[in-house]
Structures are given as C-alpha cells and as structure tokens.
Structure 1
C-alpha cells in the first residue's frame, strides 16, 4: 500500500531486464517499475488510512477532526485495475520510438532545435505514442483513480553516464478554466520548474511570448526530459473557450502524440464527449488505448467490497454493524457515485455525534442526504429514475468538502453548548438575586416583629409568585398576605362536622362523654401518654 504522497518522487535509474522484445535495450523503459500483475496492481492501488478504535473514546470536539481522514480511503475495483493496465501499456509504448540509444532519438532532438530557430523540418519518425480518454460522471472517482495509478510510478528518474538526463515519467496538468492554450503552456513550464529546479517559466513563460513560440518550447522540453505521459484533467473546460481555443488545444495534443511522441491522457466529465468528437482525427487519436467511460457503480460484489472496507472507519462512540438495509440505503442515496457514498458515511457520523445518538441508521443517512446534499438531489433523482439525458444539467454540481459540513455540525454543537451555558449562567444569576431578595425580605419581616419561621414562609411564597418585583413592593405584599391570613378563621367542612356528630351520638349510646368519644377516635390526645416519658 503506497502512501498518499503529494510530494514528487525522484529515483536513480536501475535498469531491469525486459521480457517484451519492443522494450529491450531502451533505458527509459528498463528504468520504470516492473509491469504489475492484477494482484500486484490491486495491492499497490489500495490505500487504507490508519485507524485506531481508541479514537472512538476521544472527546466529541476532537473526534470531528478524525472523520475527514476517510476521504483518503481508496478501494480498487475492476475498472481501476483496467485503468492501471492501460496506462502501463500507454507509458511503455510511448517510449519505444524514443530510445536514447538510437540515432532516431538524437535526430528528434536536433529537429526540435531547428524548429526553435524557425527552420522547417520534415518529420519522418513514426511515433509509437497513443492516448486515451477517461470520461465519467462528476464524483465517480476519475481523478482519484488516475492519481492512485500515477503513484505507482516515480515522477523523476535520473540517468547517469552515458545518458546524463533526467526522465520525467509523467506530468499532470489541469485544463485551464478558460480553455487557453497559453495558460496551459505556462502551467507546464511552472510544473517542470518545480520538478527539475529549472527556470523554464522565467525564460519562456512571459505572456509577451506568442502561443506558437510557447508550444514549440513546450514540445522541445518534453523531448529533452523524455516526458512519459501528459495527463490533462478537466478537459470539459474547453467547452467554455473562445476564439477556437478548444480546436487549437486539441490540435496541440495531436501534435504531442504524433510528432513529439508524448502520450496524452485526457480526463473529463460526460460533457467532454462534445469536445473529443469534434472531428474524426481527434476522436481516433483519443482512442489509442480505447476510451473509458465510467458511470455509477452497480450494486454488485465490487460495491459490497467497497462499503464493507469503508465501514470499518467509524468514530462514533457506538460502533454500528453494517446491515444489508444500511448498504441498500447508501446505494440508493448515492446511486453508486463513490464520492457521494463516502461523504454520506462521513456526514452521517458527524450528525450522529451532533445529535448524541452516536449510531448510524438508514433513517439518519436519508436525513443527512436530504439536509446536507440538497444541491445534488436532482442529479441523484435523475440517476434513480434512469433519466441519463438529464445528467448533463448537473455535471458541475458536487457536494462541498466534508470538513466544511463537519465544521457546520461542530459549530451547531458549540452554539448549543454556548446557549446552554448562557442559560445556566442566567439561571444562577437569577437564583442569586432571588436568594438575596429572600434574605432581605425575611430580615425586614423579623424586624417588624414577625416570627422567623413565619417570615421565611411568607417571604418564600411572595417571591415565588412575583420574583421580579422590587424589594419594597415585595415587603408590602408580604405584610398584606400576613394580614389576610389573620382575618381567615379556621373552618370545619360539612363532611368533617357530620363525622364528629356521628362519633358523639354513638358515644352517648354507649354512655360515653363527648370527650371520651373524641379521645377514643383519635381526635383528642391524652397528655400523659403523649408527653410524659
């Protein structure tokens, strides 16, 4: 399992014997990593981030920082193994006609130098390079998969004597948002400078230079450093270009493949089809290794493998077992779009932490999809209903970054905690005020001759009824309550009065006095029995 490393890798050339006749004696191919079997490719493409179950016990606010780690998770499936094999063939065959040991390679460098001096050259070198296109829905994992395949190869291979050259195995660029060929050339110079510590951008990247001049320089640099493959992502941006920029760029890619011998991989959404099929020549050159069109995953063994391995990355306090219902729900709400499935899983964990349930359920997954992925619901619905023609409307609609959503969840929890804290502070403050009022009111009543117990009872009753009243009004109300209580006379209700009459009448029949009858029925206590020890 290779590390997901953003830093470029530089290696010294170690030449390996080749079994394929076309590859033998070519140092550019012999220095590449060995051709991988499907099993070796699977192991190399896998990326399972580190995970410790003890992280489930971490405090809530810290666990939020662990969840985005799942975005690095990569589970290869059949289409990824197919991609790896195609790129492996494309890269190696692109070097067949560019062997530093051959006179043809030396002549191509000389021809490039003549072009820089404005001389016309006749290209009689048959290029072995080809190209292919990878198209698919947004979020299907095209870019991630390509980057995983590229991670199997070093960026640079240094060849010492007698070659004395630095081989750039691959270079990945994003198609400029405006489809400008000049911007692409500038990006190329800057990326090469980062890799090689050169100053190509300073020499050739000035906007004063013409496009044709930049293109010739770019081609010569690609020859000089034996660029193995050029990967152009977001090719659908050519649809927004003006002044026939898309046609110029497509012609430039054809020139790279045919004349310079650099294979080109073009990646884009389904909208890129409109660019790639503008004319037969570009469509044919783009299919050298066969076009790859990735749609959503099917609910099959590949999907189950992906979800089962992803499911182990849980940071909720209660670990949820993966059920077929949860699996079905994830598929239904993502419609087989891997990026959405992973984000749903991560966001569901964030919501479970926020609500305190700490458990993932199908209902929770649907709730998260409805609340947090509103923008992509039309796209999901189109996939669910099989209306693929509707998907072109939603090519650029993708979920926000997980970290943004989790930050939103955590902000809501922090806000709730803050509000609760404020409520508690206010309640404590109010209680303190009420306690102070109670003490002052009790003392005021005692000072006017009220018994302490009565003063406390009356004060508590008055403050409970009107806690926000001023102290002077509370005193008036307390005195008024005392006065009202004095005016009230004890009353015996009718039922109790009848009961006493019956007891006395019954006692008379038994020749008992009224006192004896009431004492016998517990209405009068015997002072000797009650108080004498």
Structure 2
C-alpha cells in the first residue's frame, strides 16, 4: 500500500507522490533518491497481505432480489488471491526495479553524461554513444503463460504497490517508476514507440507525441528520443504486454523489436519486463535471451495450476462470496469439479464460479452443485472447451494447438444476461401487481354477485359457493359475466318449481337493470349492497339476514 503520503497535483491534473526518502539498509541502494523514494522492500507476509484484493461483500446481500444479486456477482471479477507464483513475481519485480536504478543516480556525474550523449546523438543524427565507463545495471524478466492464467492481473496488482509518479525537488525531476505498454496487433516497433510517447504525455502533461510521434519520423529517431526521455524522467521499468503480437509483424519486425529491448537494457539502462502467451516463447528464445543471460532474474513460465495447496487456497478464499439464497458448503467433490472443468486455469475457475451462481439465481435453484457447475462449464464456456479438453488430455501435441486459452470477459457476459434477468424481475413485479389488484377487486365482485343472487331468491350459501368457484376458474370476469355464469350453474344444479322459474324468467329480464344499478353505485363509490338497498331491490329485514349469511 502507498500509505498516507503527501500528494502533488501536476499541471495536467494527474496526481504524483511527493518524494519522501527511506534510508536504505542495503549499501548498494544508499543515497540514491530514485530508490529511497520507493516504498519499503516487502517481506513475504506483507506482500501476501498487500497483494490480496477482496470483494465488497455482506451476507445480508443474499436476501436481495435476484437482479441486485446479479449486479453484485460482477465484483468477483476483481477478486485477487495471491499464491506462490504471485509472491515470486513481486519479489523479482522489486529487485528488477531497484537494481535498474543503481546505475542511474540523478545526483551522479554519469547521469548528466548520459543525457549529454543523447543530446549530442539527436543533434548530429547519429547513434547514441554511452561513455564506456558507465555500466548499465538494468536487467529484464520475461513472463509467459496461457491466456487466462492471470499474468496481466498479477503484474497490475504488483504495480499497484508502487506510486507511478514521484516528484523530487533535489534533483528537480518527476520520476516515472514504471510505464506499461501493450504490443500493438501489428507487432511493429513504430506503433510501440508512438504508444510510448502518448503514455508519457498522458502521465506528465508533455507533448512528446506531437513533437516526435509523427509517422513521418524514422524509427531510429523515435528510438533515440525514447532513450533520452526514459533517462530524463527516470523510468524505472518498462513493461511490455502481449508480446506474442510480434509474430504478426513483417520485414523482420520481431527482430527489430527484440533488438530495441536489448538496447534499452544494455545501453540505455532501462529495466524491461515482457509478458506474453505461450506463442511468445519462439520469439524470446532468440537472441534476446542470450543478450541478458547474466541478468539473474530469469524467465517465468506460468502453466495451469496443479491440484494442490495453491489451488485449495484460491478456491477456499473465493468460496465465501456467495450470493445465492442458500449457502453451499465447499466439498472435495466441488473442488474437484471446478478443477476438472477449468483444468487449473485460474481465470476460467473464478469466472465459472460466478457464472454458476448466475445460473443458480436465474433458474431459482439458489444453490451450487457439482452438476450445475459442470453444466454451466459446458454450456457457457463452449469457446474454451477445445482448449480445456486439450489440457485434460495432457498430450503436448494437443495442447500446442491451443497455446492461447481464450480469456473470458465476465462483466460483458453478466451484462448480456442482465436484460433477461431484469425482464424476469419486471414480469414478476407485474404479476404481483395484477394479483394485488385482483385481490382488491375479488371481494367486491363476490359481494355484489351474492347480493344480486340473493335478491333473485337464490339460497345465499349456495350462491356464495358457486361464485367463489367461478372466481377461481374465470379470468378477470366482468360483474355481468360472473352473475350470468352463476345463474346458469345454480339453475343446472337445482330443479326449480314453476313459481321459481317464473321468478327467474322475470329476473333474467331484469339483470341488465340490476347491472346498471350496480354500475351507478360504482360511479358514486357506493357498494353494490348499499345501492341495491337504496333503489329498493333489497328489503331491510332481508338485508340483515343476507349479511349474516355472507359472513358465516
């Protein structure tokens, strides 16, 4: 963590850390402001704690509506649990950065001599000639591995331990601790140089791209300017990601790029870290490895995690973040299932955990099972199944066909599913609204129908039972429709005497009149019972008797 240090706002609005120096316990690093302004060197325990990135989570969120919980799931994509490879990376980068600064003390005479050498080369349009007595202490690291293994995420977590910009007053300089670039898809050196100028301008408010980044400028002139700028702004480490793209470059483009990196390390004195997928191995095994054989930092190759302690730490750490209504205990069977379906690719494992929860929420299963996890893996991760099967086979010939496991954008996937989930929530809300309206309407329909039937000399108990049954069977019946249906049912069930039939005949003729009276009552906000009583359809003694029957 960067702590509560004083910050400085640059003219372009970016924020930099004001230099505060920590006396070094290592003689090699003493009196070098670029090193002593960096955060303290971390122990393994401190590195583990500071690299960990937990997810904002509260168990009470499991009781939220499904669409809220679906949003919360996106937090899993930002989860980071360090394992041994990450701690190793942090330690190597810490040494790479500091040792690169050993030979670049801005208070030393050699620092001025190198800057003068760059100025002379640019003025006379010739290759930079560093004084022979100035030795570079820079070195390099390469990190290659399957896509989805977490290389980029890991280095970004490591970089988060350092301020990117530090403002010094003695000497007066803005130190750029690190600069991260992505190798362009065309894999050309010119594109990388242009990206360098843009990134520096965005950081410290310079106009290098406008001055030196024009496509009409030669690559040689751009490279010289980069060396000058890197020295002037004390860039500690240059991180180049996606270096496998160099394979797509034409006219020996990858060789030119590698020569540029060698020059940065050996001549200009800038430490370099290169990151790429397994496809980058062929490039790295050329002359760049030979040029930095004595660096001491070596190469890092990250393959899929093995089923063991690191895997258990990862799964056990993330398992607490459950948003299903029912919490699922982590079992060995579930661990085995996640490993089987991800084959130790951490990106797939973490996202499979999120996707399985999304499916459980969406289908209202609301719990995680090995069967659900396997189903989601096969249905939602179809694109990576050929690669997973290759890893599962363990055969190198199969794995080499799919060296770049395709990473999955979990947030995009969940966002795509969000309209479906939101629509389900809207439909459910609409159903609840209609149910409430029906519940509010049903008592008045029941009451008006029973009262009307009572006024037609039907037995109130029988009439109430018939009307209740019809309300369950009919979909939103009108009062008239309900009354007519009830009369038909009651007539069918009872054998009426001739007097009753004569009454019914007359009553049917008066149904429209009764309906008009009831509608009039509605307009006046008077109940059917009250309006029928006012209009003389229900005598007072019968009213009291009818109400008692309806309530019973």
TM-score, with normalisation over the residues of structure 2?
0.75
User: How far 1:306 sits from its partner (Å)?
Assistant: 1.2
Tell me how far apart the structure 2 counterparts of residues 351 and 466 of structure 1 sit (CA, whole Å): 35
Decide whether aligned partners of structure 1 residues 407 and 167 sit closer, same or farther in structure 2, where only a CA change above 3 A counts.
closer
User: How far 1:420 sits from its partner (Å)?
Assistant: 7.0
After superposition, give the CA deviation of every residue in 1:171-215 in whole Å (9 maximum; x if it has no partner): 000001111211111111111112111111121122222222211
- Corresponding residue of 1:285: 292
**Are the equivalent residues in 1 in contact too, given 2:390–2:402 (CA < 8 A)?**
no
Tell me how far apart the structure 1 counterparts of residues 90 and 149 of structure 2 sit (CA, whole Å): 17
- Choose the corresponding residue for 2:140, options 131, 137, 142: 131
Tell me how far apart the structure 1 counterparts of residues 292 and 82 of structure 2 sit (CA, whole Å): 28
TM-score, with normalisation over the residues of structure 1?
0.78
**Are the equivalent residues in 2 in contact too, given 1:131–1:287 (CA < 8 A)?**
no
User: How far 1:284 sits from its partner (Å)?
Assistant: 4.0
- Choose the corresponding residue for 2:365, options 343, 357, 360: 357
- Choose the corresponding residue for 2:321, options 298, 313, 324: 313
Decide whether aligned partners of structure 1 residues 422 and 67 sit closer, same or farther in structure 2, where only a CA change above 3 A counts.
closer
399-408 or 370-379, which deviates more? 399-408
1:72 has 2:91 as partner: no
1:394 has 2:397 as partner: no
Tell me how far apart the structure 1 counterparts of residues 215 and 28 of structure 2 sit (CA, whole Å): 42
User: How far 1:158 sits from its partner (Å)?
Assistant: 1.2
Gaps of 5+ in 1: 444-449, 487-533
- Corresponding residue of 1:300: 308
After superposition, give the CA deviation of every residue in 1:290-345 in whole Å (9 maximum; x if it has no partner): 00000111111111111111111111111111111111111111111111111011
User: How far 1:234 sits from its partner (Å)?
Assistant: 0.4
1:56 has 2:65 as partner: no
- Give the SS at the match of 1:66: helix
- Corresponding residue of 2:513: none
- Corresponding residue of 1:218: 226
User: How far 1:224 sits from its partner (Å)?
Assistant: 0.4
- Choose the corresponding residue for 2:261, options 242, 250, 253: 253
User: How far 1:398 sits from its partner (Å)?
Assistant: 2.4
Tell me how far apart the structure 1 counterparts of residues 328 and 26 of structure 2 sit (CA, whole Å): 50
1:122 has 2:129 as partner: yes
Tell me how far apart the structure 2 counterparts of residues 223 and 134 of structure 1 sit (CA, whole Å): 25
After superposition, give the CA deviation of every residue in 1:268-288 in whole Å (9 maximum; x if it has no partner): 0000001112x3344542773
Tell me how far apart the structure 2 counterparts of residues 175 and 413 of structure 1 sit (CA, whole Å): 38
383-392 or 305-314, which deviates more? 383-392
Gaps of 5+ in 2: 4-12, 496-552
- Choose the corresponding residue for 2:392, options 384, 392, 405: 384
User: How far 1:408 sits from its partner (Å)?
Assistant: 4.0
Matches within 5 A, 1:42-441: 42-117=48-123, 118-123=125-130, 124=132, 125-161=134-170, 163-277=171-285, 279-285=286-292, 288=295, 289-416=297-424
User: How far 1:233 sits from its partner (Å)?
Assistant: 0.3
**Are the equivalent residues in 2 in contact too, given 1:296–1:336 (CA < 8 A)?**
yes
Tell me how far apart the structure 2 counterparts of residues 418 and 77 of structure 1 sit (CA, whole Å): 43
**Are the equivalent residues in 2 in contact too, given 1:114–1:120 (CA < 8 A)?**
no
User: How far 1:413 sits from its partner (Å)?
Assistant: 3.6
**Are the equivalent residues in 2 in contact too, given 1:157–1:167 (CA < 8 A)?**
yes
**Are the equivalent residues in 2 in contact too, given 1:155–1:169 (CA < 8 A)?**
yes
User: How far 1:83 sits from its partner (Å)?
Assistant: 0.7
- Give the SS at the match of 1:64: helix
After superposition, give the CA deviation of every residue in 1:422-468 in whole Å (9 maximum; x if it has no partner): 89999999xx9xxx9xx9xxx9xxxxxx9989xx9xx999xx9999x
User: How far 1:392 sits from its partner (Å)?
Assistant: 3.7
Tell me how far apart the structure 2 counterparts of residues 9 and 155 of structure 1 sit (CA, whole Å): 9
Tell me how far apart the structure 2 counterparts of residues 309 and 180 of structure 1 sit (CA, whole Å): 41
- Corresponding residue of 1:503: none
* Higher Cα radius of gyration: 1
User: How far 1:263 sits from its partner (Å)?
Assistant: 0.7
Tell me how far apart the structure 1 counterparts of residues 429 and 173 of structure 2 sit (CA, whole Å): 66
Tell me how far apart the structure 2 counterparts of residues 302 and 244 of structure 1 sit (CA, whole Å): 41
Matches within 5 A, 1:474-485: none
Decide whether aligned partners of structure 1 residues 2 and 331 sit closer, same or farther in structure 2, where only a CA change above 3 A counts.
farther
Decide whether aligned partners of structure 1 residues 169 and 426 sit closer, same or farther in structure 2, where only a CA change above 3 A counts.
closer
Tell me how far apart the structure 2 counterparts of residues 101 and 465 of structure 1 sit (CA, whole Å): 91
- Give the SS at the match of 2:112: helix
**Are the equivalent residues in 2 in contact too, given 1:47–1:72 (CA < 8 A)?**
yes
**Are the equivalent residues in 2 in contact too, given 1:132–1:287 (CA < 8 A)?**
no
- Corresponding residue of 2:47: 41
